[in-house]
Amino acid sequence: MEKRVFFKGWWLPALLVAPQLLISFVFFFYPSGQAIWNSLFLPDPFGLKTEFVGLDNFRFLLSDPYYLASFKTTVIFSTAVSVSSMALGLYLAALADRLIKGAGVYQTLLIWPYAIAPAIAGVLWLFMFNGNIGLASYYLKALGYEWNHTLKGDQAMFLVILASSWGRISYNFLFFLAGLQAIPKSIIEAAAIDGASFWKRFGTIVIPLLSPITFFLLVVNVVYAFFDTFGVIHTITSGGPEQSTTILVYKVFSDGFVSQDLGSSAAQSVILLVLVGILTVIQFKYIERKVHY
Amino acid sequence: MKHLKAIIASIALFAMFAGTAVQAKVEIQWWHAFGGRLGELLDEQVNKFNASQNKYTVVHTRKGNYSETLNAGIAAFRAGQHPNILMVFEVGTASLMAAKGAYVPMYQLMKDAGQKFNPNGFVSAVSGYYTTTDGKMLSMPYNSSTPVLWVNKDLMKKAGLDPEMDLSTWKRVGNALDAAKAKGIDMPFCTCWHSWVHLENFSAYHNIPFATKANGFAGLDTELSFNSPVHIKHIQTLGKWAQEGKFKYMGRRNEAGKNFRAGECMLMTESSAGYAGIKKEAKFEFGIRHLPYYGATEAPQNTIIGGSSLWALSGKSKEENKATAAFLAFLSKTDIQAKWHQDTGYLGVTTAAAKKTKSSGFYKANPGTDLAGIQMMRNKVTQNSKGLRLGSFDQIRGIIDEEMEGVYNGTKTAQVALDSAVKRGNVLLRRFERANK
């Protein structure tokens, strides 16, 4: 049933894939190669001299308890961001899908936060929870709750999760809404006539039909939580207090660009590269099997 | 149509002349870390220099905080896009010194440019930080400060305390905090720059080593030693105050300054250079005191500097280096230095500037502004009070900050935290030693 196009000769297909190959090479293979190469050296910050150290950078990293702790931090952070933003996105989409009047207005407003860059979102939330001038921290204090995310790790973690999920809810909302609207009304109505309650219909019809989108969003959100939340963490906590919000990608940055330890930073990039590779394979091998298209 | 052509031609002609006019001046770049009031004062200095002659133009750019500025400079150096002058805070000094070839040493720069420059004109407690062991000055001291105790006199009165009471020891400070807490003052104590004030200066002030090998001055094979019983006692005290709500932690850098200026914090340990902002914003009567110490030890030694120096980065043309030399010589002039000292609360880094300020009656009119200078130069410096020269020190400070956060939030004892900071810091020192052998 598949449609296939066959090209005669080799130059036309080569020409057509060339741009993609070029982009992959320039933006992926070349930097990755550089990272792997650099991870074997211990350079000084100014790049004036460098020493070949073999796998010492990796040994150094894996014996650092804070590096190992940052794996755990990353898992907690990514899970919390993905699950909370997807659950809320789905909830809001289910509500907006049932709207009769003013649907456009609600939808637009709900999508709005997605347009805000992570760093700006970080600053916004930071302002609200700032110990000196923040409104949220002021009201929390009035309620008798001491807010100080510069000192308390769990509060800092909560705040970065909140700020990272916030814009993401819009993104997930958008996709879930599109998914919900693509489900034929007739199926839902048929189930309703058979006497299935709203929750029954949601659980047995809507969720399975949404599974391709949910899977897609899971992959995208995990990638987002791993890499794109850098701006939020940098603006709100800079990885503190006591590295309690230092996720792997932030550690790459802080060791490389704050501490100027480029060898260790490169080694971390390599580990991250391998990790994300494994994660992607797992997702497509095992989770995708459970998805109905 | 004819008109249009004429207009375009004249614009092009004008642009050409304007272009050559600009090119005739040598332009140099200065990257720094000053915003707010300090940024305004820095801008004033640059404008004064640009107006004072017509050969050179200095363009200054703020690159963020101290660490961000240093990192921007290093990254730019790797890419060959670096500025002529880079502001490097005292913590980065060892990293710069080790990077031979990345900078033109100050004595060399001045000699090549034929600038008159007297390194002995600088206060030795300051210039010693930026001078090699064989007496060669590598960078030019710009702003130097030392930590002092800031007092909100209005809150002291509210706490039922005499605002002029003796606060020279930590024990007396502790008593004052108890009284303040009992009277319901929300933030009796706060501090900026935790490691700098409570470990680095604390060590010098009590004449105990922060690191072996004369705090790193005598070799790269230095090891941290700030986990002595005296250090632990002090950090444990801070931790106890934090648990009891007498000390509020606001952040690792100078975040607490905001609370002090807003009149919320009663006693604050912060750089003497907090003066510029406090004088501008405080709507209460404030006082300046010497940094407290532990009475159990003998009379305090001296405190050490914080702040920055200016490094002339290498790889620039001879003309530009001349401009750099001219500008740096301008900055070290007595009237510029005296004004900077009086405006900001930074130390007068040249002896002439300090003398001029004294004779102008400034210290009498602004009591307390001379304390920082006295505190730094009160004794003959020892191995422990000369300063610090440790590689990767910005990163080590980060580790210290992290561990101290553990003490303040009650998850670690001072002993555990400082032992761990020493251990983790030593790993970085060994790595630095290896990379710079």
| Position B12 in a domain | no
- My answer on whether B256 and B404 are in the same domain is yes
Terminal-to-terminal C-alpha distance of chain B = 70
- Interchain CB distance below 8 Å, B392 and A259: yes
- Interchain CB distance below 8 Å, A152 and B409: yes
Query: Which residues are within 8 A (CB) of A57 and not within 5 positions of it... i.e. 6 or more apart?
Result: A39, A40, A41, A42, A263, A264, A266, A267
Distance from CA of A232 to the nearest CA of B (A): 17
| Cross-strand partners of B104 | B312
Q: How far is CA B324 from CA A51, B78, B317, B319, in A?
A: 33, 21, 11, 9
- My answer on whether B220 and B317 are in the same domain is no
A130 touching chain B per CB within 8 A: no
Number of neighbours of residue B256 by Cβ within 10 angstroms:
30
- My answer on whether B345 and B388 are in the same domain is no
- My answer on whether B281 and B398 are in the same domain is yes
> What's the number of domains chain B is made of?
2
Q: Phi-psi region for residue B137, left (φ > 0), alpha (ψ -120 to 50) or beta?
A: beta
Candidate from A131, A242, A260 with C-beta closest to B406: A242
- Rounded to 5 degrees, φ, ψ at B140 are -100, 120
Note down the domain range covering B186. 147-303+383-435
Which residue does chain B place closest to A253, by CA atoms? Answer: B71
What one-character-per-residue DSSP string does B103-135 give? EE-HHHHHHHHT----GGGB-HHHHGGGB-TTS
Which pLDDT score, from 0 to 100, does residue B164 have?
94
Calculate mean pLDDT across residues A65-86: 94
Q: What CATH number did the domain enclosing B245 receive? A: 3.40.190.10
B315 touching chain A per CB within 8 A: no
Q: What number of C-beta contacts closer than 8 Å exist between A and B?
A: 81
Distance from CA of A30 to the nearest CA of B (A): 18
Question: Which residues in B lie closer than 8 A to residue A243 (C-beta atoms)?
Answer: 402
- Interchain CB distance below 8 Å, B405 and A148: no
Share of chain A above pLDDT 70, in %: 98
What one-character-per-residue DSSP string does A242-283 give? TTTT--HHHHHHIIIIIS--HHHHHHHHHHHHHHHHHHHHHI
- My answer on whether B217 and B263 are in the same domain is yes
pTM of the model: 0.81
With a CB-CB cutoff of 8 Å, which residues 243-272 of chain B face chain A? 248-252, 255, 258-259, 262
Tens digits of per-residue pLDDT, A82-118?
999 999 999 999 988 887 788 888 888 989 999 888 8
Instruction: Assess whether pLDDT exceeds 60 at residue B143.
Output: yes
Which residue does chain B place closest to A132, by CA atoms? Answer: B259
B398 touching chain A per CB within 8 A: yes
- My answer on whether B136 and B189 are in the same domain is no
With a CB-CB cutoff of 8 Å, which residues 134-193 of chain B face chain A? none
| Position B6 in a domain | no
Question: How does the average pLDDT of chain B come out, rounded?
Answer: 90
Question: Which residues in B lie closer than 8 A to residue A153 (C-beta atoms)?
Answer: 409
Question: Which residues in B lie closer than 8 A to residue A42 (C-beta atoms)?
Answer: 431, 434-435
Which pLDDT score, from 0 to 100, does residue A117 have?
87
With a CB-CB cutoff of 8 Å, which residues 42-61 of chain B face chain A? none
Of residues B242, B295, B283, B286, the one with CA closest to residue B267: B286
* Per-residue DSSP letter, B314: S
Would you say how long chain A is, in residues? 293
Calculate mean pLDDT across residues B298-302: 82
Is the distance from CB of B233 to CB of B241 less than 8 angstroms?
Answer: no
Q: Which of A110-114, A133-137, A169-173, B349-353 has the highest average model confidence (pLDDT)?
A: A169-173
A144 touching chain B per CB within 8 A: no
Which pLDDT score, from 0 to 100, does residue A240 have?
78
Instruction: Assess whether pLDDT exceeds 90 at residue A179.
Output: yes
- My answer on whether B283 and B332 are in the same domain is no
| Position B8 in a domain | no
Of A154-168, B119-133, B176-190, the range with the lowest mean pLDDT is B119-133
Query: Which residues are within 8 A (CB) of B417 and not within 5 positions of it... i.e. 6 or more apart?
Result: B235, B403, B404, B406, B407
| Position B10 in a domain | no
Question: Which residues in A lie closer than 8 A to residue B249 (C-beta atoms)?
Answer: 148, 150-151
Question: Which residues in B lie closer than 8 A to residue A119 (C-beta atoms)?
Answer: none
Which residue does chain A place closest to B245, by CA atoms? Answer: A146
- My answer on whether B166 and B295 are in the same domain is yes
| Ranges of each domain in chain A | 62-290
- My answer on whether B189 and B224 are in the same domain is yes
Instruction: Assess whether pLDDT exceeds 60 at residue B22.
Output: no
- My answer on whether B119 and B181 are in the same domain is no
User: Best of B63, B78, B190 to disrupt the A interface by mutation (most A CBs within 10 Å)?
Assistant: B78
- My answer on whether B233 and B293 are in the same domain is yes
Instruction: Assess whether pLDDT exceeds 60 at residue B129.
Output: yes
Calculate mean pLDDT across residues A228-242: 88
Question: How does the average pLDDT of chain A come out, rounded?
Answer: 89
B95 touching chain A per CB within 8 A: yes
Instruction: Assess whether pLDDT exceeds 60 at residue B65.
Output: yes
Of A27-36, A43-52, B168-177, B415-424, the range with the lowest mean pLDDT is A43-52
Instruction: Assess whether pLDDT exceeds 80 at residue B13.
Output: no
- Interchain CB distance below 8 Å, A258 and B95: no
- My answer on whether B275 and B324 are in the same domain is no
Calculate mean pLDDT across residues A138-156: 89
Q: What is the ipTM of this complex?
A: 0.71
* Per-residue DSSP letter, B370: T
Does A62-290 carry CATH code 1.10.3720.10?
yes
- Written as six digits, the tokens of B110 are 């001045």
- Interchain CB distance below 8 Å, A150 and B431: no
